[in-house]
Amino acid sequence: MEHELRAEYADGSSPGDDDPSVKTWHVVRGADSTAMCGRDLDPASAVRSVDLWGTGKVPICHSCGALFLRESP
């Protein structure tokens, strides 16, 4: 199963903004817009490679991180 990171936006920001403020990144399975921690994310939200997980470059949801670790080989 392919995992991806999906953005949760800060209050007042939305995917349609010119420069939306991302609050944290959640891990989703494939094209699912519900994060592994159970949070519903906007289907229009930005998606990034899960390779960013563990690099410390982006803020990532701790619940998703723990669940993702369990599914990673």
Cα atoms in the 13 Å half-sphere on the side-chain side of 53: 25
* Cβ contacts of 16 within 8 Å, gap of 6 or more: 44
DSSP category for residue 34:
B
Neighbouring CB atoms inside 10 A of 51's CB total 10
Query: Binding string to Zn ion for residues 10 to 29, with x set by CB under 5 A, is what?
Result: ----------------x---
Residue 61, both tokens: 């949801």
Hey, which residues between 27 and 46 contact Zn ion (CB under 5 A)?
A: 35, 37
Q: Which is nearer to Zn ion, 18 or 56 (CB)?
A: 56
Q: Does 50 bind Zn ion (CB under 5 A)?
A: no
Q: Which stretch binds Zn ion (CB under 5 A): 12-20, 43-51, 52-60, 63-71?
A: 63-71
Q: Which residues bind Zn ion (CB under 5 A)?
A: 26, 35, 37, 61, 63-64
